[in-house]
Amino acid sequence: MLAAAPTKLFPTSAQPAARAVRLLQDPANDAAAGSPPADGEHDMPAVSVAIDQAVHSTLARLTGGLSPAALADAWFDWGIHIAFSPGKQAALALKATRKNRRLGQFAFRSLTKGETAEPCIVPLPQDRRFSNPAWHSWPFNVVYQSFLLGQQWWHNATTGVPGVAKADEAIVEFSARQMLDAVSPSNSPLSNPVVLRETLVSGGANLVLGALNAVEDARRALGGLKPAGAEAYEVGRDVAVTRGEVVYRNRLIELIQYTPTTETVHPEPVLIVPAWIMKYYILDLSPPNSLVRHLVGRGFTVFMISWRNPGPNDRDLSFDDYRRLGVMAALDAVSATVPGARIHTAGYCLGGTLAAIAAATMARDGDDRLASLTLFAAQVDFTEAGELTLFINESQISFLESLMRSEGVLEARQMAGAFQLLRSNDLIWSRVVNSYLLGRREPMSDLMAWNADATRMPARMQAEYLRSLFLDNDLAEGRFRVEGRPVALSDIRVPVFAVGTERDHVAPWRSVFKLTLLGDTDVTFLLTSGGHNAGIVSEPGRTDRHYRIYTKAEASPYIDPDRWLQVARLGSGSWWPEWTGWLSARSGEHLPPPQSGLPDTPPLGPAPGTYVREA
């Protein structure tokens, strides 16, 4: 049973608009209205709150959950300060003059030298919009050079303004970049030479196909269907196919125990805690890409948590409920299956943060069941959490809370906008160009199909997570409380293996690296190529991958990230063998595999179970 919440953070009333009307008619009828009216007067503050929540939640649906107040506040801060900075204005005017002169000189060179003319500005390494050779011919080379110079000028204009708060500056620079990306010449069929050439060659067939693609995508989005091609990767048939049994279930998780594929196994089992923002099977994709299959093939008994997809009735599930009903319940089940064995626990993304909290709590309370702790792209300090922090401030969280109060959950589509904006060129505009202007569908992969299989977030849990961890950074600063008492990461004494990815836009590797500063144990940090998802799914045989690894001993002095890059050992290929080797070195000699399932309790069904199939 869930412990009763001391206060009802997210009342299970109907829509906020209906509640506001009810309160206006008779505030005394609403139990959530607050204390009885004084002197017979209506409780107008409760009415005001209900009206505000109704307005905010309605607006949030229109903006994808992004707070216009936070954006307006940042732009006002920038605008008022630049208005009173004549020196900055003069510098920007001078930069504009110089850039126009450089562009004019380049235009003249391109007329006389053609494609061999040296550009006056080059795109950033990650910007591939103008990489096609067609962009190097006149007049398209002048068009894209003009755009890049303008983009650079706006970066100068939105940064370095005296007096602007650092957080507001980041928001203004980010939003200006988003607006410029939207009007990039690569996004227009009239200014993109690749699109123009395709239109000429195909007689416009690409635009017809692109229109059909747009209609199909709109139909699927409005119908709540997965993207085109995702049906080729069905859970239990094409992905999440590693053999196993569901051995435990409660209202929040199913615990999967995978079938061993070796005659003997290490005595210490591995428990994986995936993030609940998505389905668990990113770590058990198609067989060649399955980390689970890799582990069982190397003599490990593997358990995996499969989170239930919450609905509006789960609005009061707390962050600590995820610890108790998730990590701790799973640890209890694993301990019952493999009695007396210490457990290697690994957490991915948000699941890693939760695993670290559970490990710190266990250390505080004298629970010594853990053999090691592994964190995949998981943060425990959120002060440098990258551009995602642009969407995490008091205004934004309050805005989201109004939306979540009305619906009980935060829908995946309401989170997707923020994540896509972090990589808008790759996740939004490149798709527009390829699918709608060139009429070409990007082939669906197992990772892309998984990415479209999102889940919901319970309102109370999400609010607590955003406030306590992202906004207030309570965990890193020793204020995060579990069962009424604070926990400290420095209490963790088991060896730690942490993985960061070079191009992570969700958990930047320098943020993940902070664990080496906060921990008081041996920490092996590995930095792999790739992004937040593709960097973790790095199966052996990938010759295009590399990684760096270095172990900081408990008694060793702190090494900052830049120094770490210099001393870390460089490896090629997948990082998975490094991790399994690290686990093996901290595990005992092989024994016969343990029983399947809890004692005297038959398995509840084959993997991947039922929770992962819930929409």
How many CB atoms lie under 10 A from the CB of residue 595?
12
Using the 3D structure, point to which of 162, 183, 204 is the last residue of a domain: 183
> Do the domain assignments include residue 550?
yes
Q: How many residues does the chain have?
A: 615
Same domain for 363 and 275? yes
Domain identity same for 256 and 344: yes
Distance from C-alpha of 489 to C-alpha of 476, rounded to nearest angstrom = 7
> Mind listing the pLDDT tens digit for each residue in 41-95?
445 566 776 677 777 667 766 666 677 888 899 999 999 999 999 999 999 999 9
pLDDT of residue 70: 83
Report the distance separating Cα 77 and Cα 600, nearest Å: 65
Show the tokens assigned to 393.
Answer: 């401030």
pLDDT at position 61, please? 66
Average pLDDT of span 405-418: 73
Based on the fold, state whether residues 347 and 486 are members of the same structural domain.
Answer: yes
Q: Tell me how far apart the terminal alpha carbons of the chain are, to the nearest angstrom.
A: 24
Q: What's the pLDDT at 339? A: 95
User: Percent of the chain having pLDDT more than 70?
Assistant: 88
Beta bridge partners of 253: 307
CATH of the domain at 302: 3.40.50.1820
Which residues on neighbouring strands pair with residue 409, listed in sequence order? 458
CB 512 within 8 A of CB 383: no
**What is the identity of the amino acid at 104?**
G
H or E stretch covering 338: none
**What digits encode the pLDDT tens for the residues 572-600?**
999 999 999 999 999 999 999 998 889 88
Same structural domain for residues 172 and 248?
Answer: no
Asked if residue 59 belongs to a domain, the reply is: no
Q: Is the pLDDT reported for residue 534 higher than 90?
A: yes
Range of the domain at 121: 70-183
| Placement of tokens 């196994």 in the chain | 265
Identify whether 535 is part of a domain: yes
**Average pLDDT for the chain:** 88
Residue 328 counted as domain residue: yes
Same structural domain, 489 and 363:
yes
pTM, whole model, 2 decimals?
A: 0.86
- Domain membership of residue 270 (yes or no) is yes
pLDDT at position 361:
98
SS3 for 124? coil
For residues 303 and 177, membership in a common domain is answered with no
Q: Which of 171, 349, 498, 607 is catalytic?
A: 349
What pLDDT does residue 26 have? 45
349 is catalytic: yes
Q: Are residues 374 and 497 in the same domain?
A: yes
pLDDT digits over 439-476, tens only? Answer: 999 889 999 999 888 889 999 999 999 999 989 999 99
pLDDT band at residue 32 using 50, 70 and 90 as cut-offs? very low
Domain boundary among 165, 183, 201: 183
Tokens of 179: 């607006």
Question: Do 133 and 268 belong together in one domain?
Answer: no
Co-location of 586 and 479 in the same domain? yes
Rounded CA separation 116/113 (Å): 6
Average pLDDT value for residue range 258-271: 97
Residue 272 — left, alpha, or beta (φ > 0 → left; ψ -120 to 50 → alpha)? Answer: beta
User: Model confidence over 601-610: pLDDT tens digits?
Assistant: 899 999 999 9
Instruction: Identify which of 551, 539, 536 has the alpha carbon closest to the alpha carbon of residue 582.
Output: 551
The domain total for the chain is 2
Are residues 155 and 275 both part of a single domain? no
Please check whether residue 89 lies inside any domain of the structure. Answer: yes
Kindly report, residue by residue over 360-401, the tens digit of the pLDDT: 999 999 999 999 999 999 999 999 888 777 778 888 788 778
User: Is 500 found in the same domain as 372?
Assistant: yes
Task: Please state, in angstroms and rounded to a whole number, the distance separating the CA atoms of residues 278 and 250.
Answer: 19
> Band of the pLDDT at 37, cuts 50, 70, 90?
very low
114 pLDDT band, cuts 50/70/90, is: confident
State which of 183, 201, 232 marks the end of a domain: 183
**In the predicted model, is pLDDT for residue 297 greater than 70?**
yes
Residue 593, domain member (yes or no): yes
| 486, 565: one domain | yes
Is residue 540 included in any domain, yes or no?
yes
